[in-house]
């Protein structure tokens, strides 16, 4: 495969961690895009906030810990992680995993993120 030119890819993640495969499959796409050295941003919004909680014990539902899996993103060159602040407020979530180095952003900054992206994928 030829080396593709660098695209600004925005992956919008709006799914809860274990209720569907979407959280895992959006992470897989982010890792693939990182492998091909694309300029990847991930926006967590809506129920995707729950992916960022530290106290997860998904062994109870025979799943792998998604929060831990998100921590490999920087190894793949994916370091631009954002969370929609309003989504956290709506769910009364006060603490998200600080290891992930996620930037909280406002609605207007979210709009900017969309505007600057060349391609948006929503999960």
Partner 1 sequence: MVFSILVLGAPFNSQSAYSAFRFVKAALESEHTIYRVFFYQDGIHNSSAIATPPQDEFDLYQGWQNLQTQHSLDFVTCIAAAARRGLLNESEAKRHNKDNSNMAKEFDLSGLGQLVEATALSDQVITFGQ
Name the residues that contact partner 1, by CB under 8 A.
Answer: 1-2, 4-7, 9, 21-22, 25, 28-29, 32-33, 35-36, 38, 118-119, 121-123
Region label for 80, one of left (φ > 0), alpha (ψ between -120 and 50) or beta (otherwise): beta
Q: How far is the CB of 36 from partner 1 (least distance, A)?
A: 5
Q: Which is nearer to partner 1, 6 or 89 (CB)?
A: 6
Sheet holding 8-13, edge to edge: 103-105, 80-84, 39-44, 8-13, 119-122
Q: How far is the CB of 53 from partner 1 (least distance, A)?
A: 24
SS percent in the chain: helix, strand, coil, step 5: 45, 20, 35
Find, among 6, 76, 88, the residue nearest to 43 by Cα: 88
Q: How far is the CB of 26 from partner 1 (least distance, A)?
A: 9
Q: Which is nearer to partner 1, 6 or 107 (CB)?
A: 6
Q: Which is nearer to partner 1, 31 or 100 (CB)?
A: 31
């Amino acid at each position: 495969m030829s080396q593709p030119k660098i695209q600004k890819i925005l992956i919008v993640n709006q799914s809860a961690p274990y209720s569907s495969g979407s959280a895992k499959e959006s992470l897989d796409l982010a890792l693939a895009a990182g492998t091909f050295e694309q300029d990847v941003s991930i926006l967590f919004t809506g129920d995707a906030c729950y992916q960022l909680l530290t106290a997860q014990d998904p062994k109870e539902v025979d799943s792998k810990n998604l929060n831990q899996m998100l921590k490999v993103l920087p190894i793949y060159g994916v370091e631009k992680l954002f969370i929609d602040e309003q989504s956290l407020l709506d769910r009364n979530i006060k603490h998200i995993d600080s290891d992930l180095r996620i930037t909280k952003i406002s609605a207007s900054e979210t709009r900017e993120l969309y505007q600057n992206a060349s391609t948006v994928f929503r999960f």
